[in-house]
């Protein structure tokens, strides 16, 4: 079986930057956020289930998911988020497993901001945390997304606390310097993962 690395980190920690570096080394990356968007595309079974559970108002006129309306609804209705996740989480998991199996690189990476929170780490053999201080997260994420600091603070507060992720992850890199410093830390890890993948 292919060696699967789970890569995680809070918003703005540098998960995408790290993933892109691994891709330049020929390692395939499956992004849980992208999968989450794919499984609710027009024509997908999960979207039909959402429509059945909540009503036709969840669809836009062109048949695509009305994300904004659903987000607002979930915010107001306490049980709705749970109901939605019961539909989406299994579909996300199934699609991730299919993509992991289809991967052909020496090892494969599953990147997810909620790797531990959603138990997606159980799909992996080893985990790597991209870590950054909250100040760095706030500064990078606000520059990237144009979101205000308060919105990003709320997202950070909803994610697993940094210390808990540090305790749970097998490997950790601190991404508080230049990108070159990040890559220099990733390189020896990549060599270890390659060696492990040859054994598995």
Which residues line the annotated binding site for ATP? Answer: 12-17
CA distance 37 to 28: 19
Among 2, 16, 105, 168, interactor with ligand ADP by CB under 6 A? 16
Among 76, 178, 188, 199, interactor with ligand ADP by CB under 6 A? 178
Q: Should residue 6 be labelled a site residue for ligand ADP when binding is judged by CB under 6 A?
A: no
Q: Should residue 11 be labelled a site residue for ligand ADP when binding is judged by CB under 6 A?
A: yes
SS3 label, residue 83: helix
Q: Should residue 14 be labelled a site residue for ligand ADP when binding is judged by CB under 6 A?
A: yes
Q: Which residue lies nearer to ligand ADP by CB, 179 or 195?
A: 179
Q: Which residue lies nearer to ligand ADP by CB, 13 or 120?
A: 13
Q: Which residue lies nearer to ligand ADP by CB, 6 or 9?
A: 9
Q: Should residue 13 be labelled a site residue for ligand ADP when binding is judged by CB under 6 A?
A: yes
Residues whose CB is less than 8 angstroms from the CB of residue 71 and which lie 6 or more positions away in sequence, other chains included: none
Q: Give how many residues touch ligand ADP by CB under 6 A.
A: 16
Say if residues 78 and 84 touch (Cβ distance below 8 Å): no
For residue 44 the two structure tokens come to 């997908």
- Cβ-based neighbour number of residue 28 at 10 Å: 17
SS3 label, residue 154: helix
CA distance 44 to 35: 12
Q: Which residue lies nearer to ligand ADP by CB, 34 or 179?
A: 179
- Cβ-based neighbour number of residue 117 at 10 Å: 15
Contact positions vs ligand ADP (CB under 6 A):
9, 11-17, 140-141, 144, 175, 177-179, 182
């Amino acid at each position: 079986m292919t060696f699967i690395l789970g890569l995680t980190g809070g918003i703005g920690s540098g998960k995408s930057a790290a993933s892109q570096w691994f891709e330049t080394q020929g390692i395939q990356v499956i992004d849980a956020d992208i999968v989450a968007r794919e499984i609710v595309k027009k024509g997908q079974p999960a979207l039909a289930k959402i429509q059945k559970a909540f009503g036709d108002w969840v669809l836009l006129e062109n048949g695509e998911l009305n994300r904004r309306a659903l987000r607002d609804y979930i915010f107001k209705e306490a049980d709705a988020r749970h109901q939605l996740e019961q539909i989406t989480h299994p579909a996300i998991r199934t699609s991730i497993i299919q993509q992991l199996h289809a991967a052909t690189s020496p090892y494969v990476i599953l990147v997810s901001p909620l790797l531990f929170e959603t138990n997606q780490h159980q799909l992996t053999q080893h985990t790597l945390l991209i870590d950054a201080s909250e100040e760095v997260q706030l500064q990078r994420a606000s520059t990237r997304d144009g979101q205000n600091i308060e919105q990003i603070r709320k997202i950070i507060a909803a994610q697993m606390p940094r210390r808990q992720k540090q305790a749970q992850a097998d490997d950790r890199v601190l991404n508080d310097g230049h990108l070159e410093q990040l890559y220099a830390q990733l390189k020896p890890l990549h060599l270890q993962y390659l060696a492990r993948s040859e054994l598995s």
